């Protein structure tokens, strides 16, 4: 599993000209799922996302996690995070999970965030063409990969 975490002051996702997910301060998570991903990957990533201290405290130091900052989360499925670009100019998505496996883990990921944070999680629509509008805050952008836990 791979995710791009972007700290935002607001974000929304639109499908067919309708807003289906919207948050104020928090994270936009772009989530890529590969065929080899398991519940172990999912649990590690949820734990990491929830504990990252990248919100400012009263001294303007990045010391608060998403729950302490009372932030929200918008999760967007993004298979293109699994792109391989080594050969040629057309990305290969050979490692991306098949839709059934990916959608199952995507939904479990959202559910796990909900249970960890005890708050609703906003999301895009799996497999849909989406427009995402957001205001990056900082900007603060992180990349996490469960196969390369750095």
Cis peptide leading into residue 139 (ω within 30°): yes
Chain centroid to CA 48? 12
What is the C-alpha to C-alpha distance for residues 77 and 122, in angstroms, rounded to an integer? 12
Q: Which of 3, 28, 38, 80 is catalytic?
A: 80
Beta strands per DSSP E along 34-128: 55-56, 62-64, 72-77, 122-123
For residue 80, indicate whether it is catalytic: yes
- Residues with catalytic roles: 80
């Amino acid at each position: 599993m791979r995710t791009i975490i972007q700290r935002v002051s607001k974000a929304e996702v639109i499908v067919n000209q309708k807003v289906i997910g919207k948050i104020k301060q928090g994270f936009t998570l772009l989530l890529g799922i590969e065929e080899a991903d398991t519940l172990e990957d999912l649990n590690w990533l949820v734990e990491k996302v929830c504990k990252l201290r990248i919100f400012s405290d009263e001294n303007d130091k990045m010391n608060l996690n998403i729950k302490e900052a009372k932030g929200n989360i918008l999760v967007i499925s993004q298979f293109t995070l699994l792109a391989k670009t080594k050969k040629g100019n057309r990305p290969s998505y050979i490692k991306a999970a098949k839709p059934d496996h990916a959608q199952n883990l995507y939904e479990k990921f959202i559910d796990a965030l909900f249970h960890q944070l005890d708050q609703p999680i906003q999301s895009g629509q799996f497999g849909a063409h989406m427009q995402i509008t957001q205001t990056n805050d900082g900007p603060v952008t992180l990349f996490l990969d469960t196969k390369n836990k750095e």
